[in-house]
Structure 1
Amino acid sequence: MKITAFILVLTFFSFTNIFAQSDPFSKIKTPDDATAYLKLISENFKAGDEKLLPTLIKKGADVEVINKFGVTPLLCMVLANSYEGTQILLDASANPNVTKPKTGGTPLFFAAQMNNLKIVQALINAKADVNRTNSRGLTPLFIACVKNAKEIAALLLNSGANPNISDTKKQTSPLHIAAERNNIAIMMYLMKAKANIDAQTSNGATPLFMAASKGHALAVQTLLIAKANKHLTATIDKTTRSPLLEAQAQKHGNIVTLLNKGLPRCNKSFEQGIWDVFVMADYYSIKLTFDKVDQSLSYATSLTFERSPNGRYSFDTNLGVRFGVHQIFVDGIKVFEGKFKRQSNGKSLKIKLPSIDLKTLQKLTKGKMAELRIMQEQYKKAAVQKHTFKFPLGEDLRKAFYKAENELKIITLEKNEGRCYQPKGLFGGL
């Protein structure tokens, strides 16, 4: 057998030239000889060699012989992109589900990868497993999406391919791939086949997230029409982002507009007793308008406690009095003293609000009555009392602060996850 194989090796390379002149199979006496020759063809295939297959098969060649590369003749024909060779071997009952060593790829996987519709159809007709995965968990449908092979994707889906098999490493689904490549036709095929529209990769990315990240407006719109969840987040560079925030980060303004549509604003206003509370992402204010508690005032004046985006607290009287010493008393005990500060850069004057710490604010929430005194400083004279206002504290203020802090957490979370939008120009906007 070894001698015969050696002779076959020597004669194989001149075989094509002598084919028209003599019978190249004259030395093939047994099925083992035919198998050895088929093995050589699979190892050294050249265009036209598929014409030799019917004679070798007729002489008893084993179509499942494994060559030195670890593959069968069928897989060799598929990798060579030979439809004729593939069909001949399939007609001879070659196994359509053999796999390539190490990668685990099947003939159907490689046919889809090469976008050869005829070979894919032939393999499906021969009962190839449309859901067999390779070593990375990739299906023929997955690779068809990677190659934008829409006709093959449609054929595979119509033949029972599961659209929800994800790769084993990143949990990427075929719909992720189609959305990332903006292939609307394949996306529609997949969604019609019940693909999970909100499938998430290992880092949380959805098909909508991928389309938004790449700036594919039509893919984003298609997914939104299909009711894709806009609030599912992905972790990118250790930060959590919604599709909206990812589109922002990539500066895809048209995508931001699409994703913003229908989202509520990132702010909320409510009244807690006599205190008006306004909350938006990173900021809130609690305001008392004095004529709510003193009807004798001829004009409305107010006191506003603010929590700024940097987490610091301040207050503003909104009285038009932004000078002098401001004091706050709670139940007759002074708990705060501060001043408005004027800062000039040579071109404009900036007023810095008095800073008030959280402990002082907590004292206000535990008292019953507060008094604001504004002491005007005059040149070479003692401070003179200018304004004084009394206002109730107690449970209403405590509830207002508690409600504001709670709402701030909710709204900030919703902003970070893209559940609400903040209009441009307000603390940076979206």
Structure 2
Amino acid sequence: MASDDCRKDDLLEDNRTDSGIDSYRSILKSEEPREPSTDFSGPRDKFSTGEERLDSAYDSSSITAESLSEIVEGCTLSSAKEEQAPSSELSEQEENLLATITEDGDTILHLAIIHEDKCISQKLIQIFPKEVLDIQNNLYQTALHLATYLNLIGVVKGLVEKEVSLELQDQEGNTALHVACQHGQTECALELTREVSLSKMAPVLETQNWRGLACLHLATLNRQHQILKLLVKKGADLNIQEGTSGKTALHLATELHDMTSVKLLLSRGANVDAAMFNGCTPLHLAVGRQDAAIANLLCQSGADTMLRNMEDETALDLANGNDDILALFPFDDIHISGRSVVRVKF
């Protein structure tokens, strides 16, 4: 055990002035940061939420899973000794370990997750208090963000059981649940919502990232039907509007020609006549995209064919002579200036 203690002493120098940064320079090698991408739909680096890596030291030869294991084992053994004492306070070395942060803002838990070491991650989750578990790195990612992104289901479960914050947002404004919706991490989404009360879940479901997208929007955009069902079950507002153009999930599903999502949303009570900021309803979008099947479903679900957008257009005005679309809009022969006065829906 003496060798373990020596190793910890080497890593955690007493004369640190930068929350452990200097003590880690001997085992971490940083890279020049890259500008993060604002394109949310493009391919992702394995360890990024933009185009920037989660941890610049990942794959560096200067830190290994073995070195992490030795550090954590020493802390675990020390914690076991502390449990026998009446005081619940951490030792000085453990306090230093908790305060150690790399140049990228990562704690040891961040690094363990990035290395996908589930065993060490679980040990650290048990050792660390909630305040440390919620530390955000330079990309504002918590351990929960990283575990969700890497689909480490057990780690996500352990963090949720420690009641870490579900509302913290990364540099793109995403909560961990946003990340699950974006990348189709269905099991992580289940763990993020399983033991959470509706009152605690509500603010997470209402949170919009910096692109104005709530979790429901991301699940719809990425055709994550199972996650979509889960969000609806957890009380997500089906008619929440994204922040840029006011589209609801039904608008987005219609634009994607995603009949499965359209049926799901309508069956759960989504507003068929919800209007975007420009007044367009899902029916306007379906007709404008010449999608007769979805337009027909919207009409069968009670869509108002007479609603006009800010351009004073009804959905019929966007049909562009498409016979399949026009068949959905029976009307009489009374016209003024080329426009029908009375339309009768059958």
Task: Provide TM-score, normalisation by structure 2.
Answer: 0.68
1:356-367 residue pairs with structure 2 within 5 A? none
CA RMSD of aligned residues (A): 2.9
Q: CA deviation at 1:67?
A: 1.5
The separation in 1 between residues aligned to 2:143 and 2:209, in whole angstroms, is: 19
1:48 pairs with one of 102, 113, 116: 116
The aligned counterpart of 1:24 is 71
Q: Choose between structure 1 and 2: higher strand proportion.
A: 1
The separation in 1 between residues aligned to 2:154 and 2:286, in whole angstroms, is: 39
From the CA coordinates, give the structure whose radius of gyration is larger. Answer: 1
1:62-103 CA distance string (max 9 Å, x none): 2011222223211222233432332232233211221124x4
The aligned counterpart of 1:8 is 24
1:200-219 residue pairs with structure 2 within 5 A? 200-219=275-294
Contact 2:65–2:117 under 8 Å retained in 1: no
- Kindly provide the amino acid, as one letter, of the partner of residue 69 in structure 1: L
Listed as ranges, the gaps of 5+ residues in structure 1 are 268-279, 283-411, 422-430
**Is 1:36 paired with 2:100?**
yes
1:81-100 residue pairs with structure 2 within 5 A? 81-100=151-170
The aligned counterpart of 2:319 is 247
Q: 1:26 to 1:50 in 2, by over 3 A?
A: closer
- Kindly provide the amino acid, as one letter, of the partner of residue 64 in structure 1: D
The separation in 2 between residues aligned to 1:419 and 1:180, in whole angstroms, is: 26
The separation in 1 between residues aligned to 2:97 and 2:67, in whole angstroms, is: 18
Q: CA deviation at 1:130?
A: 2.6
The aligned counterpart of 1:76 is 146
- Kindly provide the amino acid, as one letter, of the partner of residue 143 in structure 2: P
Contact 1:35–1:63 under 8 Å retained in 2: no
Q: CA deviation at 1:192?
A: 2.6
Contact 1:81–1:114 under 8 Å retained in 2: no
SS of the residue corresponding to residue 24 of structure 1 reads helix
Q: CA deviation at 1:47?
A: 4.3
Q: CA deviation at 1:187?
A: 1.7
**Is 1:139 paired with 2:214?**
yes
Q: 1:106 to 1:87 in 2, by over 3 A?
A: same
Q: 1:202 to 1:419 in 2, by over 3 A?
A: farther
**Is 1:182 paired with 2:228?**
no
Q: 1:242 to 1:119 in 2, by over 3 A?
A: same
The aligned counterpart of 1:67 is 137
Q: Give identity over the alignment, percent.
A: 20
1:26-67 CA distance string (max 9 Å, x none): 675313404526615526953423432122234336201122
The aligned counterpart of 1:155 is 230
- Kindly provide the amino acid, as one letter, of the partner of residue 24 in structure 1: I
2:184 pairs with one of 115, 119, 128: 115
Contact 1:232–1:242 under 8 Å retained in 2: yes
SS of the residue corresponding to residue 243 of structure 2 reads coil
Contact 1:96–1:126 under 8 Å retained in 2: no
Larger deviation, residues 207-216 vs 184-193: 184-193
Task: Provide TM-score, normalisation by structure 1.
Answer: 0.56
2:274 pairs with one of 199, 223, 230: 199
1:99-125 CA distance string (max 9 Å, x none): 124x42211112111111111111112
Listed as ranges, the gaps of 5+ residues in structure 2 are 1-13, 29-59, 76-92
The separation in 2 between residues aligned to 1:43 and 1:247, in whole angstroms, is: 55
The separation in 1 between residues aligned to 2:293 and 2:158, in whole angstroms, is: 43
Contact 1:154–1:186 under 8 Å retained in 2: no
Q: 1:91 to 1:44 in 2, by over 3 A?
A: closer
Contact 1:109–1:139 under 8 Å retained in 2: yes
SS of the residue corresponding to residue 245 of structure 1 reads helix
How many positions carry a matched residue from both structures? 268
SS of the residue corresponding to residue 114 of structure 2 reads coil
The separation in 2 between residues aligned to 1:33 and 1:214, in whole angstroms, is: 57
Contact 1:124–1:130 under 8 Å retained in 2: no
- Kindly provide the amino acid, as one letter, of the partner of residue 48 in structure 1: E
Q: CA deviation at 1:17?
A: 5.2
The aligned counterpart of 2:309 is 234
The separation in 1 between residues aligned to 2:205 and 2:65, in whole angstroms, is: 40
The separation in 1 between residues aligned to 2:63 and 2:210, in whole angstroms, is: 37
Q: 1:145 to 1:60 in 2, by over 3 A?
A: closer
Contact 2:113–2:143 under 8 Å retained in 1: no
Contact 2:116–2:152 under 8 Å retained in 1: no
The separation in 2 between residues aligned to 1:17 and 1:135, in whole angstroms, is: 35
The separation in 2 between residues aligned to 1:81 and 1:10, in whole angstroms, is: 30
